[in-house]
Each structure stands twice: as structure tokens, then as C-alpha cells.
Chain A
Amino acid sequence: MIKLLNVTKRYSNGVEALKNITLTIEQGEFVYLVGQSGAGKSTLVKLLYRELVPTEGFITINNFDLRQMRERQVPQLRRTLGVVFQDFKLLPKMTVAENIGYALQVIGKSDSEINDAVSQVLAEVGLSDQADHFPDELSGGQQQRVAIARAIVNDPKTVIADEPTGNLDPQTSNDIMAILARINAKGTTVIMATHNQQIVDELPQRVVEVAHGQIIRDEQGGQYTHELDNDSQPSAR
């Protein structure tokens, strides 16, 4: 379970990216964070995996109290999370299998554990045949699937994705969404920041809309835009 209570994030330059946010997400939910560019989606996401600490307010996630947490406990929190980005962040000199295994290697897993887990997630994202390819031999959609495989290889309770389809065409985006939906169906919480209207409208889930650092809508099975505020229709990006 994830809880944010009266969370405010002010950057050192004075920008208040989030203002007094309160939000609860149950285990196993699928949540879209939508809103215009600059609304504060990425800031919210970074607070969740504790890349950032809130200026004010409380956050608990997977039983970790992010406010009281000490710096050296952060790795333990991150092992319960899987994070996916728009730019994949794959290591170019490693194969697909090595990129995924790396996530387990650096937390001290043995080679045999790594091999088993990697072949399993490769199958889950449909890339078993590409295990020994290098990232630059793959399409963007395939690279993002590798990144997702890496995010879920340690069985996280929560997957956090910041614009995972931002660099992908609509068809490939749908493939990615199907994989995320499948992960969610197994009980993993999925939180996805996006401003891709088509996706949100085609795969309805809980929608949390952020504008100017505040939650202006929280709607189960919602569309990207609320019927009532069509005027403030966000332009993509």
C-alpha cells in the first residue's frame, strides 16, 4: 500500500512542484498519473522511489516510512520497487540477458538464481529469442520490454513507470501496455505517469490527474480528460 499525506515538494530553486498532495493506492491497483508537461508527475514518481524526499508531508510505501527512513535503508525500499523510464536506461555493452541479470547481480544474487529468474522474465515479456542480443540490435519497443523485464526480475510489489511509451509508436505502446496489464493482473501495483491520451482511454484504469502540482481529479476507470474540463485539454507533451 502507498500513502501520501499532505506532501509538498519544493525544489532548491523555489519551484513548488507538488502542493499538499494526499493520495492512497492499494496493493494491486493500476493507476495512471496524467497531466500536462510540468504538472509534477515525474516529481511525484521520484518521491515514490525516494530519488527525492518531500519538503513536507508523509509518504509510506510497501511498509517503508520514507520520512523516517535512513539513507542506507533506501536500497531495501528499492528492492521492493521496479522502475521504468521513457529512455529505457539499458547498458549498451551488455546483452539483453546480462542487462536483466545485472539488477540481481548487484544485489548479491547467485549466478544460478540469476539465470532462472532472467529466463523466466524474458519469457514473460516475449524476448526469449533475443537473450543474447545487444540493446542496439533491438527496436524501441523491444528495448522497453527489456527494461520492464529488468524492473520485474526481482518480483517487486510495485512497478513505477514514468512515460514508458513516450518514445514509442502507438502499436508498440499497446504491446507495452499489455505487458504492464499482465504484471498488474498478478497482483503487482502499477503506477504509470503518462500524457498519452490514447492509451488511457483504451485501457481504462484509475486516473489521477495532476495540474500545477495538485491533484485535480481522482477517478476510477476514468478517461484521460474529464468530460467537464474539455477546455483545458492538454496538448501532448
Chain B
Amino acid sequence: MPQLVSHPDEVKVVSRRFGQGAAEIDKYIELDGYKAVQMGIEQGPEWIVNTMKASGLRGRGGAGFPTGMKWSFVPKTSDKPKYVLVNGDESEPGTCKDHVIFLHDPHAVIEGTMIAGLAIGAKMGFIYLRGEYRYLLKIVEKAVADAYAKGFLGKNIFGKQGVDFDIITQTGAGAYEVGEESALMESLEGKRGVPRIKPPFPAVVGLYGGPTVINNAETIANAPHILLMGGEAYAKLGSERNGGTRLFGISGHVERPGVYELPMGYSLRKAIYEVAGGIKDGKKLKAVVPGGSSCPVLKADEIDCGLDFDQMAKAGTMLGSGGIVVLDESVSMVEFALRTIAFYQHESCGWCIPCREGTDWLKKTLTRFHAGGGNKKDIDNIQYLAENMMGRTFCPLGDAAAMPTLGFIKKFRSEFEEYLEGVRVEHPLIHIKPVGELAMAGAGH
């Protein structure tokens, strides 16, 4: 069972009910649960959307798109049913925050889904959890069943004539790519999880061809809190253009890893050195991957920036999924780069060529490099490959592989060069098998 952590600097909004037994519906109700959705029914869609807009909440799934705006893009009328889709695929390495929400506050996700439904005029919502989260799916399933039993879901919810809302929970079966919104819709329609072409965007043509709002589970779980406290109050908790708070999962070489809720814009340095207790065993910091494995790495002297979407972009990286991975001085960047790329190669769905071949060649080259068969040209080749993947793939998985690669090469080029001269990991951890016979291709000897 995940260990709950806490720190005085935390500002608890979405995590306010963690550890209080709120997975039980009566406890959830006691802790102000299901009040926000009833306010939403009274006040109507426009009020909900305006409150969400005022909150400055930006998507917690990775891209940071303003949630209120996303909801306002859904056409008012539609021939096809509209849907709300909750993305609980949570597969970006370094990310485990939705895990804690499903475990401690599943009703917040349910209530948020209903609020999104009210806002866009949908009568059905789906909560999709990655297949590995079976024990969490059971918790969410029970919560949904309890909400039905109370008359909070189904027909005429809360006794309001003509207000209907249904929720279906769904399990995945192992695939990172299914976290991408259009691939998630394919998966939910019982197909291989490959992405769809955009436009049309999901807000217009989404699940089963109907207008669909898709949000990350944490984004959705914030909605009830925002309606209760008011958009402006939520916005004020965060930084400019980055409303509210966020769950940050701090992992790797820190003394107190865990999921902490910090205000948007909180100092990355303080998050590492104060909140998470500093570098493990008194070692020195080497690098930080600030928002899940697809974000370009920051060097130890680049961590004086605030944890919000804009400040991270200014620092040349991304806030991503909020998974902060901390690396101490003992880590080989060559090895870390290889492990990162091995993941994207494994998870590329194979639908488009720049991603499928690009991740494959990156992995092949890095595997050979790591094993001691590299040469100077490889470093440029890796950079060239990654640059050519950027923006040229069907969905952003290709970018998610290329961006960290470029970060490793640009920030730690000298380490790659030294590696060639024999400064290697003495006991390589990774025994990644070369892919096929071509693994040694281009080795130049």
C-alpha cells in the first residue's frame, strides 16, 4: 500500500481527504462530498464552465491545456451523444499520483466526472484505468455502485427530474500509448490503441463519434473543490496563469519520496531539498527529470525555477505529469538515456514510421553505445534522429521520446564523449538485449 507523506509546505486541495477513509461514500459526504455537483445542477453549465475558467486549472495529464476552455469547446447541440472520458491510464514513468487519488478519494473522480458532464451536456462518463490498477478499479467500481445506490447516479439524480448521468468503469490491458487521448478512445471502442488523426478534435468528434471531453483523473478530481471554493480562490493558490495546486510525485534519489500537493509555481529546489528531504544518503544532485520521463532533463544548477507550466517551459523543459525524478551523482547518463529510450521503443504503437523506426534506431544506437561499441558519430546521429522525429509523428509519443533524448545529449554531451574514452559504468545495470541482428549496424568497426 502506498505510503502517505506530508510536509508543512503542502497546500491540500485535491489531497485533502487522503487518509480519511473517503473511499466510503458516507465519509465522503461528511467531508463535503457531492455538494459541488448539486451546486452545478442548480447553477447550470455556463456557471460551471466560467468557474473552471476563472480557476486557471490546467490539465494535469501532461500538456497543461486550460480545462475550462476545453469544456467550452464542446458544441452545445449534437446529433450524437456527448461523453466525458477520464484518463486514468497513468503510464508515464515517474508518475503515480492518480494511483493515490483512486485509492483515497475515488468519489472525487466520480463527482468531477458528473460536473464535467453537466458542463458539456453529456449523460454518460467513462473512467478508464490502466489494466495494472486492478485493485484501484475495484475501489472505483465499488464507489460507483455506492453512488448509484444513493441515487447520485442513474436517472433523476439527487431527485432532480430529467437529470440523468451514468458512469462506466473500464480497464485497459497494458499499453502506454493508450494514455494518448485518441488512442484511449480506440481502446475503449475495443480496438488496438493507435492514435487518430486530428482534426477533428475529440471535443467535436470523439468517443463513438460523439463530442467528448477527455481529462486526466487529477484534473477531474479538482473540479468539485473548485466549484466549492470558487474559481478565483483556487486560482490564487497558484502562480500566474497556473491556477491552484498540483500533486507532485517525487521519486528516485531523495530521502522522502512520495506524492506531495504543492502550489503551482513552488520552487523545484525546495521541492527536492526541503519537501522530499534532499538527496539520499547525503550524495550530490546530478540531474532532475521534472515531469515524467518525456521531459528534458535539468542539470543540478538549473533547478532554481518554479514548478508551473510556463516556468518549466522557460527553463527549456516541461511540467508534464508532475513526476519529478531525482538523480544523484552516481547515475550514468548514458545508462539513464538508454533506459528511457528502451521504454519508448517498447511502447511505440508502430502506427507511424518516424516513431516506430526512430525509437528503434535510438535504442539500437544507445544499446551499442552503452555496451562499449560506440563512436563519436553516434552522438551526432542520436541527436539527428531525435531532431527528425520531433513534430513528425502521428501522435506526441514520438516527441515524448525525442525530447528527453535531445536533453540528455545537449546537457550531458561531454559525458557521452567521456564514455567513449572508457569512462563507463563499471557494473552496468542494464542488460538490454539488442533488437534483432542489426543492433551492431552502423558500429563502424
Partners in one complex: no
> Which residues from chain B sit less than 8 Å from chain A, CB to CB?
none
> Which residues from chain A sit less than 8 Å from chain B, CB to CB?
none
